[in-house]
């Protein structure tokens, strides 16, 4: 029997799934601007209506496609086409709206980088593949959250890899975006500092995790505990 999710109403939008509405709550909690389904596209002859445009009209703008399960090849191909065609980073995020990892601030640079970080791949079917190398030890109990598609020409033909893309809260300016391993890195509000000045004033920018600040924890809690009205009545 074919089943369909019931539309979920939140802030005047009718979301196709409750999961999408939860992510909208999450972003609102962090003052992250978003548009829901602002624009459809035809990609390789197929119609495609991406879920969220996040931080629209800013340097941080990106597409966010929400999936309840590990994405299919077809879904990943569309996301790649969207990134290439629109010039914006595109994430296909399938992890639950919950904190993706424990506190990791104790890791040293060596522990954080571990082995060859380019070698791991994780899929729903296989779990961790050991070819050609294992990921750093700290990642072994964690699950990747998303695929990211880069709009650059070099990314056009690369095999997509799932990765540890985590929402990150900047300690300096509160900007919340998705970054690899939740690394805050260099804050744009401090871009007037040279690398040396930055490190002298704020310490080394990597590794510095921003994935479980009080604001982010509160946003995950708000997302998972939100209750919605059904939106299917057409009212």
Please tell me the count of residues contacting Zn ion according to CB under 5 A.
5
Among 170, 177, 178, 219, binds Zn ion (CB under 5 A): 170
Beta-carbon contacts of residue 9 (< 8 Å; ≥ 6 apart): 15, 21, 228, 229, 230, 231
CB atoms closer than 10 angstroms to residue 102: 11
Whole-angstrom CA distances from 125 to 19, 80, 122, 187, 233 are 23, 21, 8, 37, 38
175 touching Zn ion, by CB under 5 A:
yes
Stretch that binds Zn ion, among 133-141, 142-150, 185-193, 199-207 (CB under 5 A): 185-193
β-pairing verdict for 127-129 and 13-15: unpaired
Stretch that binds Zn ion, among 20-28, 152-160, 163-171, 214-222 (CB under 5 A): 163-171
**Which runs of consecutive H residues, i.e. helices, occur in the chain?**
18-29, 73-86, 109-113, 195-202, 214-225
Of 30-59, binders to Zn ion (CB under 5 A) are none
Q: Which is nearer to Zn ion, 173 or 180 (CB)?
A: 173
187 touching Zn ion, by CB under 5 A:
yes
Among 49, 103, 140, 173, binds Zn ion (CB under 5 A): 173
Nearest to 91 by CA among 104, 106, 78: 78
Q: Which is nearer to Zn ion, 19 or 176 (CB)?
A: 176
Nearest to 117 by CA among 144, 94, 93: 144
Q: How far is the CB of 54 from Zn ion (least distance, A)?
A: 16
Nearest to 29 by CA among 224, 222, 225: 222
Q: Which is nearer to Zn ion, 42 or 173 (CB)?
A: 173
Q: How far is the CB of 59 from Zn ion (least distance, A)?
A: 12
Q: Which is nearer to Zn ion, 205 or 231 (CB)?
A: 205
Q: How far is the CB of 174 from Zn ion (least distance, A)?
A: 7
Among 172, 200, 229, 232, binds Zn ion (CB under 5 A): 172
Cis bond upstream, residue 132 (ω within 30): yes
29 touching Zn ion, by CB under 5 A:
no
208 touching Zn ion, by CB under 5 A:
no
Binding site for Zn ion (CB under 5 A): 170, 172-173, 175, 187
């Amino acid at each position: 029997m074919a089943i369909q999710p019931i539309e979920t109403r939140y802030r005047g939008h009718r979301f196709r799934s409750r999961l999408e509405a939860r992510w909208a709550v999450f972003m609102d909690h962090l003052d992250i601007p978003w548009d829901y389904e602002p624009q459809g596209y035809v990609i390789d002859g197929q119609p495609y209506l991406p879920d969220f445009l996040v931080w629209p009209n800013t340097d941080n703008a990106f597409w966010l496609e929400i999936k309840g399960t590990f994405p299919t090849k077809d879904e990943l191909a569309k996301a790649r086409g969207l990134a290439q065609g629109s010039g914006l980073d595109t994430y296909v995020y399938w992890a639950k709206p919950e904190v993706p990892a424990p506190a990791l601030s104790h890791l040293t640079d060596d522990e954080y980088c571990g082995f060859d970080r380019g070698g791991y791949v994780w899929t729903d079917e296989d779990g961790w593949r050991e070819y050609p190398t294992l990921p750093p030890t700290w990642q072994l109990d964690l699950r990747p959250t998303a695929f990211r598609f880069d709009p650059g020409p070099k990314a056009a033909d690369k095999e997509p890899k799932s990765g540890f893309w985590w929402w990150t809260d900047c300690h300096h300016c509160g900007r919340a975006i998705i970054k690899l391993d939740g690394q805050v890195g260099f804050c744009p509000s401090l871009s007037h500092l040279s690398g040396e000045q930055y490190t002298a004033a704020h310490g080394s920018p990597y590794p510095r995790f921003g994935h479980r600040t009080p604001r982010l924890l509160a946003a995950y809690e708000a997302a998972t505990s939100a209750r919605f009205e059904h939106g299917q009545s057409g009212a």
